[in-house]
A and B are shown apart, each in its own frame.
Chain A
Amino acid sequence: DIQMTQSPSSLSASVGDTVTITCRASQRINRYLNWYQHKPGNAPKLLIFATSSLERGVPSRFSGTGSGTDFTLTITTLRTEDFATYYCQQTYGTPPMFSFGQGTKLEIK
């Protein structure tokens, strides 16, 4: 199975900052990479799919880039509601096996 490694595991930032989270796959996954936001007590929320496509209703301060094995999620101008845990997910293969990264907890500084 494909392994996903996220970094950092935790991140402290202030409202208004820009942050970047990285995700590395153990093999090439082309653009089969999604990003989710998860807050305690809620279901995870899809933010970005296919590396860089923004899910409907997600603010444009979220963006994704990458290809092959290395991917990034960038959040610009952080707002209080953005403090959460973020996960990458690969969906490569036929059939796909949907492994997640270990998560990045974004906390208020």
Chain B
Amino acid sequence: QVQLLQSGAEVKKPGASVKVSCKVSGSTLSQLSIHWVRQTPGKGLEWMGSFDPEVGEPLYPQQLRGRVTVTEDASTDTAYMDLSSLKSDDTGVYFCATDLFRGSFPLFDLWGQGTVVTVSS
């Protein structure tokens, strides 16, 4: 079955960047939309960005535009989320997710296990 396997925990200093990976198994990236969501103590769940092959370009929320970049490597079926200019309130758990159902209403029905990112001086 399809699985999403994320990279391990990261500890970064303020101002640095972090890159989290999400490897697809049981399918290929070309068939899946990959979404990035984080859970931080202050803000709950926050959508960070997506790449849908049917759209053909990444999508970002207004509040993170310019700091977050989502990319994909089709040769390894791995998606990446890069967050720059890290601050202490970026500390949290970062998830990738996908829509396996692919119906008329988008949804996130399969999730990676999460990657803990800690930003501390």
Contacts and interface: CB of A to CB of B under 8 A. Distances in A.
Interface of A: 1, 31-32, 34, 36, 38, 43-44, 46, 49-50, 53, 55, 85, 87, 89, 91, 95-103
B80 interface: no
Contacts of B44: 85, 87, 100-103
Nearest to B105: A50
Interface residues of B, number: 29
Contacts of B113: 43
A38 B61 contact: no
B112 A100 contact: no
8 contacts: A1-B63, A46-B108, A85-B44, A95-B55, A98-B35, A98-B47, A99-B47, A100-B46
B107 interface: yes
Given A85-B44, A95-B55, A99-B47, A1 B111 contact: no
B55 A44 contact: no
Contacts of A50: 103-105, 107
